[in-house]
Amino acid sequence: MRISARADYAVRALLELAAAGDESPVKAEAIADAQGIPHKFLEGILTDLRRGRLVVSRRGGSGGYRLAAPAETITIADVIRVVEGPLVSVRGARPPELSYTGPAEALLPLWIALRANVRKVLDEVTLADVAANRLPVLVRTLAEDPGAWTNP
Amino acid sequence: MRISARADYAVRALLELAAAGDESPVKAEAIADAQGIPHKFLEGILTDLRRGRLVVSRRGGSGGYRLAAPAETITIADVIRVVEGPLVSVRGARPPELSYTGPAEALLPLWIALRANVRKVLDEVTLADVAANRLPVLVRTLAEDPGAWTNP
DNA sequence: GTTTTCCCTACAAAATCAGTAGGAAAACTA
DNA sequence: TAGTTTTCCTACTGATTTTGTAGGGAAAAC
């Protein structure tokens, strides 16, 4: 289960916009520099985000990108869905589209539960939460468990 | 965040072994037929599972595969780690290896929390649980929420 | 009218995914 | 011992996805 570079970059780009506020747009190159993202690659990602209505853009001298909605209303799950598609998929299909037989029958509710627990984190955290370093209590609790940081 | 065909097939193959019990080994072809998995592809997966010490094999007439340990002691996370590597990775790296700057700093604890919540499901469910359709209460509860089955 | 910046298309190397093919080695059976 | 069965090993292939790069066109600001 991997988060692609596209998704990671998309979230970081939006966090820069969330931090910049609503006064003036931020240029793609400024975002790329701030977060160390290849600038032409980022442009493609920003196009996806615009088509997904998460950002609005303006061209010209004092142009750039702004969030299309308040940072408090955009969740991390929203971002991943725009750039990566479904949050969780199994063999390219969403869990409800799968069918299992024999001893594997209970796999379907398992994948559903997995997706539910992923949503519990990504659907609850907004860009504003991350940018201000104020994660919801549930998420803080999960992250504060010492075992959560050890590798296997 | 996707579960690959390899991982899905691996879990289903092991569930067939869990259901078969310990008496006699199950042939690769029998597993492939039972679960509708391409047989030569499955052979490669079973090799991984053997190298990962999740199954043992025997050749010849009455050969086949058996679980290397009781089904109650092998978790779904174990299986995914053997065939896919780390449970959750971001841009190919495990969360603790990442570093973020500026407004993205709180992304690291977020990915850690995400991984922790994935583990809460996959580390707690064993092959025996799924094969017998007796998922742990936590997982049942997650899967029974009606909203968990709706797509976006 | 010039500059700036987004916007669009096309391309491409590399990795991953999902298999296939053919046979060698080992174990069992008779 | 000979023959059958099944795992085990190596290699290969085609499709898709990922992660970018290159070059220029269109709109907006100044």
Q: What is the pLDDT of residues B49-99, one digit of tens each?
A: 999 999 999 999 899 999 999 999 999 999 999 999 999 999 999 999 999
| Residues forming a β-bridge with A67 | A55
Q: Is B112 exposed, middle or buried (0-12, 13-18, 19+ CB in 10 A)?
A: buried
What is the rounded distance in angstroms from the CA atom of residue A6 to the CA atom of residue A49? 11
Identify the pLDDT of residue A38. 97
Identify the pLDDT of residue A23. 86
Which uninterrupted H or E stretch holds A58?
strand A55-58
Identify the pLDDT of residue A67. 97
Nucleotide nearest the Cα atom of B29 (by C1'): D6
What is the rounded distance in angstroms from the CA atom of residue A52 to the CA atom of residue B139? 32
Strand C contact set, beta carbon < 7 A: A 25, 27-29, 43-44, 46-47, 50, 57-65, 91-92; B 4-6, 38, 40-41, 44, 58-63, 84, 92
Sign of CA dihedral A108, B91, B110, A16: negative
Identify, with chain letter, the residue nearest to nucleotide D16 (CA–C1').
A92
Query: For residue A83, what pLDDT band results from cuts at 50, 70 and 90?
Result: very high
Provide, in whole angstroms, the distance separating residue B41's CA from nucleotide D11's C1'. 14
| Residues forming a β-bridge with A56 | A66
Q: What is the pTM of this model?
A: 0.95
Cα angle, residue A59 at apex, residues A53 and A60 outer, rounded to 5°: 165
Instruction: Return all residues near B121 (Cβ < 8 A) that are at least 6 apart.
Output: A110, A113, A114, A117, B138, B139, B142
Interface A-B: count of C-beta contacts within 8 A: 189
Which uninterrupted H or E stretch holds A64?
strand A64-67
Residue A92 to residue B133, Cβ atoms within 8 A: no
Instruction: Return all residues near A21 (Cβ < 8 A) that are at least 6 apart.
Output: none
Q: How far apart are the CA of A60 and the nearest CA of chain B, in angstroms?
A: 26
Q: How far apart are the CA of B84 and the nearest CA of chain A, in angstroms?
A: 8
- What 3-state DSSP class applies to B57? strand
Provide, in whole angstroms, the distance separating residue A27's CA from nucleotide C4's C1'. 11
Taking residues A74-102, report their average pLDDT. Answer: 96
